């Protein structure tokens, strides 16, 4: 079953990425400890998500065309009632304002402390959106983009 999650897909090369070329899946991450060996398993489309569950939001982006797609951007909202937890997500940009402005981690903002304007790091718990930028998606290829969150 595919989850319907609002996505913003932009292909800056002039080639539109059609909606049927996206597959969105939500996984629950289950940690299994067998004789001292810890392994992770992904359960697709979990039922009954509980507070503290680790979830992985995955988007499979496919280019079915005969030409590469350049500078494709995929913007994914962080699901409500979750907190972003993936550290150092390579190449991703993040937003704290509902997806208007994006920047690389660590995010910083100007705040007033004791009458002075200072720059402070933003906690990942405030992230609202993740944006992936794919410099080039080759013809007839696909890429999986994912990040993890913790259910509140």
The pTM score is: 0.80
Token digits of residue 131: 């944006």
Query: Rounded to the nearest 5°, which phi and psi values hold at 64?
Result: -85, 0
pLDDT digits 0-9 by tens, 34-48:
888 989 999 999 988
Other C-beta atoms closer than 10 Å to the C-beta of 54 total 16
Token digits of residue 97: 């304002």
pLDDT digits 0-9 by tens, 48-81:
899 999 999 999 998 888 889 888 888 999 998 9
Q: What is the mean pLDDT of the chain?
A: 85
* Residue 13's pLDDT band (cuts 50, 70, 90): very low
> How far apart are the two ends of the chain, measured CA to CA in Å?
23
Strand 69-77 with 37-44, pairing:
unpaired
Q: Report yes or no: 69 and 100 within 8 Å, Cβ to Cβ.
A: no
Closest CA to 142 of 11, 23, 6, 5: 23
Query: Rounded to the nearest 5°, which phi and psi values hold at 140?
Result: 55, 45
Token digits of residue 144: 């999986």
**Residue predicted with more confidence, 94 or 1:** 94
Assigned fold of 8-94+128-151: Immunoglobulin-like (2.60.40)
Closest CA to 24 of 152, 128, 146, 135: 146
Asked if pLDDT for residue 90 goes beyond 60, the answer is: yes
Q: Map out the domains of the chain as residue ranges.
A: 8-94+128-151
């Amino acid at each position: 079953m595919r989850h319907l999650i609002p996505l913003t897909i932009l292909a800056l090369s002039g080639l539109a990425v059609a909606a049927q070329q996206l597959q969105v899946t939500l996984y629950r991450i289950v940690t299994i400890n067998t004789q001292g060996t810890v392994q992770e398993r992904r359960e697709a489309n979990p039922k009954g998500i509980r507070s503290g569950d680790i979830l992985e939001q995955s988007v499979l982006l496919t280019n079915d065309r005969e030409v590469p797609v350049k500078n494709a951007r995929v913007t994914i909202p962080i699901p409500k009632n979750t907190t972003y937890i993936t550290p150092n997500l390579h190449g991703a940009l993040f937003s704290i304002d509902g997806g208007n402005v994006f920047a690389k981690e660590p995010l910083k903002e100007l705040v007033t402390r004791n009458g002075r304007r200072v720059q402070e790091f933003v906690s990942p718990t405030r992230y609202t959106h993740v944006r992936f930028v794919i410099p080039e998606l080759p013809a007839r290829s696909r890429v999986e983009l994912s990040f993890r969150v913790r259910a509140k």
